[in-house]
Amino acid sequence: MFITFEGGEGSGKTTQIQLLKDALEAKGHDVITTREPGGTIEAEKIRELLVQRDGGDWTPTAEAMLFFTARHMHVETKIKPALAAGKIVICDRFTDSTIAYQGYGHGFDLDTLNAIKKVSIGNMEPDKTFILDIDVTEGLTRAGKRMEGDDDGSTEDRFERMKIDFHENLRQGYLTIAKQNPNRCHVIDASATIDDVHLAILSAI
């Protein structure tokens, strides 16, 4: 099974991914976790260009193609082989992030994004996607606290630093994606307690 987690900044994806991994492993499953952009040596190099605050001033088209270049390598060299080996793959972000961030957030043409997707990864889709939904202000506050607490000098805050309108469009984009894919996507109230969010995810699984 291929499971993805989506959501805006500060929605708690990292915590919930680890809890789900632990729960599935406790049931005897072989589970790997990964992330996007990233997941492979090549894709992690591209990640630095995309999420660092000084990673580059990309045009929307160039940015979209970079995301899908990283995703192509991730799918072909890590995700597909793991699934073929019978493992459960849990990924922090996937194509829905590109549609939400670049499409709904930045206004990039959705048809063009889907065309790039088709060339890059074909019809590859997750089996289950959890969209952790949270009020934009609350999420950004959480993300800000997280960044302040980092002690590794991280500057992966390019998207957190964008204007509030971008984040509102992003949230609505995710909700639209969920409505368009009701069998795959599950919207979870990320403002609930960590335990309640985890239980909701387990119930859907």
Residue 143 has pLDDT above 50, yes or no: yes
Looking at residue 151, what is its pLDDT? 45
Confidence of residue 71 (pLDDT cuts 50, 70, 90): very high
Question: Three-state DSSP class for 187?
Answer: strand
Confidence of residue 121 (pLDDT cuts 50, 70, 90): very high
Please report, for the domain that includes residue 170, its CATH number: 3.40.50.300
| pTM of structure | 0.88
Q: How far is 171 from 59, CA to CA, in rounded Å?
A: 22
Question: Three-state DSSP class for 181?
Answer: coil
Looking at residue 168, what is its pLDDT? 93
Q: Which of the two residues, 173 and 167, has the higher pLDDT score? A: 173
In terms of phi and psi (left: phi > 0; alpha: psi -120 to 50; beta: otherwise), the region of 12 is: left
Looking at residue 145, what is its pLDDT? 54
Amino acid identity at 129: T
Question: Three-state DSSP class for 34?
Answer: strand
Confidence of residue 166 (pLDDT cuts 50, 70, 90): confident
| Cβ atoms < 10 Å from Cβ of 137 | 12
Sign of CA dihedral 178, 205, 16, 30: negative
- Tens digits of residue pLDDT in 31-69: 999 999 999 999 999 988 887 766 677 888 888 999 999
- Tens digits of residue pLDDT in 80-99: 999 999 999 999 999 999 99
Residue 102 belongs to domain spanning: 2-204
Name the domain count of the chain: 1
Of the given ranges (77-81, 130-134, 159-163, 179-183), which has the lowest mean pLDDT? Answer: 159-163
Q: Which of the two residues, 199 and 149, has the higher pLDDT score? A: 199
Mean pLDDT of the chain: 89
| Cβ atoms < 10 Å from Cβ of 176 | 14
